[in-house]
Structure formats: structure tokens, C-alpha cells
């Protein structure tokens, strides 16, 4: 898949953008978790996520499964949208309440408040491909100049995240 394929159409359909960004974030969070474990830590920090997002920006469109994962998620989004559109207001409220409860159940015990994060951040010295790439692309990001709309969008979003968390 070529990045330019998304430049023209990316803003045309909000569901496509939502699916693409969701897959991008999923891949980055998986990498951040992996990096954290290889660093000998237990808690994924904002730094881990930022570094994984930077790596993802450089490799995302080269991944073989991006198109399939995005299409699968797009199908889920469209199915949910269709279900919601066919519900009356009362049933829609019930559906959204169930969705909220399901999300709470998924994340229960997995989110830690900043006050509980006493673990010192340590850079991974692991030599596996993912850790080496995360370290390398994190450095490369500092001198990177976006060349297309997708890169500009992702680059600016990562800069905003870094600024928000004072990274």
C-alpha cells in the first residue's frame, strides 16, 4: 500500500480515517508494551507510547497487514453505525450504556493513576528489532520533516502528545 493512496481520500470518509488511526494506535500500543517489557519495566509510560508512535510513523504504511486490519475495523465501525441508526432513542441509550459497561470491564485494573506510577523509566538496551527500531526512530523523529498530509498529521499529533506530557 502506498501512502499517497491515503493522501487524496483520507479526509473524505470519517470512518476510513477512524479505522486507519485506530489500527495505527493499536500497533503503536503493542510496540510500547513490548518495549516496556524489554526494558525490564512493568508500566507502559507516556515516553514508551511517544517513542512507539514515532516508530509507527515511519513503518506503518510498510506493514503488510495494515490494509486488512483497517478494512476489518472499518467493517466493525460501519456495522455498529448501521445498528445504531436502526435503533430508537431508548434502545440507543441502552446500547450505549452496554457499550460503556463493556469498555469499563475491559480496562478494569489495567489503568494506573499517575500517583501509582513510581517505576523509574529506563530505556531498552535490548537488541531485538522492535527495541532497536523504537530507539532509532525516536532519534530520527527529532530531525524529521513531513513530506505529505499523512506524515504532517501524525507528526503534529505526536508533537502535541509530547507537549501535553512534557516529554
In our burial notation (b when 16+ CB lie closer than 10 A, e otherwise), range 122-160 reads: eebebeeebbebbbebbeebeeeeeeeebbebbbeebee
Enter the C-alpha cell of residue 69.
486490519
Residue 142 phi/psi, 5-degree rounding, is -60, -25
Q: How many CB atoms lie within 10 A of CB 109?
A: 6
Give pLDDT tens digits for 68-115.
999 999 999 888 888 888 888 888 888 888 888 887 877 776 666 655
Q: How many CB atoms lie within 10 A of CB 49?
A: 22
Q: Confidence class of residue 1 from pLDDT cuts 50, 70 and 90?
A: very low
CB 105 within 8 A of CB 116: no
pTM to 2 decimals? 0.78
Amino acid at each position: 500500500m502506498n501512502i499517497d493512496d491515503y493522501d487524496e481520500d483520507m479526509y473524505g470518509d470519517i470512518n476510513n480515517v477512524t479505522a486507519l488511526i485506530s489500527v495505527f494506535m493499536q500497533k503503536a500500543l503493542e510496540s510500547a508494551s513490548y518495549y516496556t517489557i524489554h526494558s525490564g519495566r512493568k508500566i507502559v509510560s507516556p515516553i514508551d507510547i511517544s517513542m512507539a508512535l514515532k516508530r509507527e510513523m515511519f513503518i506503518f504504511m510498510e506493514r503488510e497487514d495494515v490494509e486488512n486490519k483497517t478494512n476489518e475495523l472499518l467493517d466493525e465501525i460501519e456495522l455498529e453505525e448501521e445498528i445504531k441508526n436502526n435503533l430508537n432513542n431508548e434502545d440507543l441509550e441502552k446500547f450505549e450504556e452496554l457499550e460503556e459497561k463493556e469498555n469499563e470491564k475491559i480496562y478494569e485494573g489495567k489503568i494506573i493513576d499517575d500517583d501509582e506510577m513510581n517505576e523509574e523509566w529506563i530505556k531498552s538496551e535490548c537488541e531485538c528489532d522492535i527495541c532497536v527500531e523504537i530507539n532509532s526512530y525516536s532519534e530520527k523523529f527529532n530531525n524529521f520533516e513531513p513530506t505529505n498530509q499523512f506524515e504532517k498529521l501524525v507528526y503534529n499529533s505526536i508533537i502535541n502528545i509530547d507537549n501535553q506530557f512534557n516529554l
